[in-house]
Structure 1
């Protein structure tokens, strides 16, 4: 299997992978309410109806017409194009993400994307934005379509990745993404098919949110938690890592690159083995950039022989060791299916 395909399988989304997923959700909830949403100046209106060509995307509430020859992907959620020329993967986040286009372009640029075009749509009366961009992956230039479809307080994200020289795929993938049909009546239980699990027995943590690639827990059963008095814990597939990378240094560098906190102080970093996978657990403190409040972060990175990285993340304002010990207890129950 190609490096390109493995990369897509292990990402929630390239758009989201620049910062820890729990911090991304938290950051969005803090700031999106104050951002001015753009006036939808004459968005292109699309009315889609289910046809015989539509294929349901498992573990989601959407169907699309995939490009000719595409097959249902496994284990990631979406489709694989013939000869591994590209992929379509689908995910969702529990926040509204269709924001000011200028800010969105700036965020993508910070994450290494070159935005080539943005288009606004209303698809079956739901606000949507299609972004076309390019980026470098392991030294090779790739193209990327991303369709965000906002449904209430949730955003469904469809990502299409393909090689830069495959110009014939541009129109086919764009047409495929814009064929999306959302069905609110579909009941989704992604936690039943996730390839990993943890146990929160003996802790205060409750399952709060699931997506096709993440398990999210909090002490109040909400995600993100209702206040700083509550803590959260996330389990997810993170990234694809080159086998020659110095893993310990990579873990430490990822703390420095965190864009949502400052004054990072690493309390400890230890080698750890869980479910037969070697990795590191790290505990560090920092100040939130928005309010300067102290945050305590616990993270575990587990490295598979194939380069995939599993990430377990805890965030708390608790200055004692009580929550830290709960984070450790949950992390050590991690198990792959």
Structure 2
């Protein structure tokens, strides 16, 4: 998840049951509603044998259930709807001294709870191809994205706008004032930075993605974390189709981050960028990537109440073990991915990564 951690091993299996209305023209609030239920079993082991002041490994095994309901919209010029989510996490194995890996809620005495649950909801309105939403959400913007890498996803409270009214252009904006990590049931949670641990109260962002042709896209975003930093993000992605089974992909990402307001995290002047090229053939993909951090501070990003890091790190060398985002850090990645769907196991994939 982040740089500086010790060895980690995680296994997760996911199964999804989806119940949905037929795919037809927009029919209404109930007719266009969807319900999806996910069961997720997650085992996480972090090896602390070489860590100072640690006598036990970090180890958690948990079962999670996530039910997502999405309504349609009421008829009329402005349609209204509602989204809701119910989650449940159940302890299968862990204990005091081993817990704290982000799968289970922890009591004040350090003991993991046997179970924890919460319900999230948001209201929404739609005009044309523009949707405005307020409430509990899981934004996915490259400058503000909640975490999905543990048993239960994190959420943020606030408003968002997403629009597809302009051909080939999607617009995304939001303002969020509270954050709840996956293991937290605290609805008044605040935001933090992943590496500095600095608390802040709100984040605002806006951006767009432009696709002039189907295989080429550009994205540009700006964000401001209250009294912390201002940030710009740029992405360019091109997919060159060679045949029905082969393609080359080129992907460039860059973040420019500077202190803002009262600069609660101190001076920040960081340019983080990466470039990756990949070759896909049938179910296999081979990737080479280079990443560089220009600045005396790390590339930092969102952390939420409960200790779950967000997904606001679209750099190519951000992988399970490390983000390779330390001050002035440079890294190279070689990666192999295998999609098992063509071999009769849809949803299962493997990857091997070397990033010295």
User: Which protein has greater RCO, CA pairs closer than 8 Å, 6+ apart?
Assistant: 1
**Would you say same fold, with TM above 0.5?**
no
Answer with 1 or 2: which has the greater Rg: 2
Q: TM-score, normalised by structure 2?
A: 0.26
TM-score, normalised with respect to structure 1: 0.27
